[in-house]
A and B are shown apart, each in its own frame.
Chain A
Amino acid sequence: DGGITQSPKYLFRKEGQNVTLSCEQNLNHDAMYWYRQDPGQGLRLIYYSQIVNDFQKGDIAEGYSVSREKKESFPLTVTSAQKNPTAFYLCASSIGTGEWDTQYFGPGTRLTVL
């Protein structure tokens, strides 16, 4: 089955620790995205990548870092500099970044920082 997988589903970390969230897709999509979802708010874009070895900041990149060494993988690191990291994190991918390209989402990772 083709799709986007995110792991783990739930993640707990102590304040001050960096944590890396996994996102893998086997859809052969070029573009990948990370969004953050907070209660009562829409999704906000953290980072996106159009091709391997390239990525751009979204609206709320501060305190986060990403890498795109392989087409199918786009891990997100939540660093200790992120002031309010507890949230639901969603990864998405699309064939490209053209105006017709629909973004498809993974199941999400809920991060709780204690």
Chain B
Amino acid sequence: GDSVTQMEGPVTLSEEAFLTINCTYTATGYPSLFWYVQYPGEGLQLLLKATKADDKGSNKGFEATYRKETTSFHLEKGSVQVSDSAVYFCALRDNFGNEKLTFGTGTRLTIIP
């Protein structure tokens, strides 16, 4: 079945550092890929998405490229801020009529000033 493997956290970085959170997936066919962010005590917000190979999703300075050859969708940001502290979830949705999102376990990111 489908699965998503995320880099284990927690991850702690200094402000303005470069961020990478790794995400790899297993799926049949060509899934759509997502990054969601969860701020403390809140629900999930869609951060970015990509629906086909080589697509790059981007939002709020974050980027992720859909790499079919490596089955990866790593999240990157060039210069993180304290306000980026949150839990980040990678997710996929297969495109065979399955409505379910399959989530990774989440990576907790803490940015220190």
| A and B associate in one complex | yes
User: A-side interface residues toward B, CB under 8 Å?
Assistant: 4, 6, 31, 33, 40-45, 48, 50, 58-59, 90, 92, 97, 99-100, 102-108
Q: Is the CB of A108 within 8 A of B43?
A: yes
For A44, give the chain B residue with the smallest CB separation.
B103
Task: Tell me, rounded to whole Å, the shortest Cβ–Cβ distance linking A22 to chain B.
Answer: 14
Residue in chain B with minimal CB distance to A108: B43
Instruction: Select one of B49, B99, B101 contacting A43, CB under 8 A.
Output: B101
Interface of B is mostly: strand
Known A42-B89, A43-B89, A99-B51: A104·B103 in contact at CB below 8 Å? no
Binding site for A on B (CB under 8 A): 4, 32, 34, 36, 42-46, 49, 51, 89, 91, 93, 95, 97, 99-106
CB distance from A33 to the nearest CB of B (A): 8
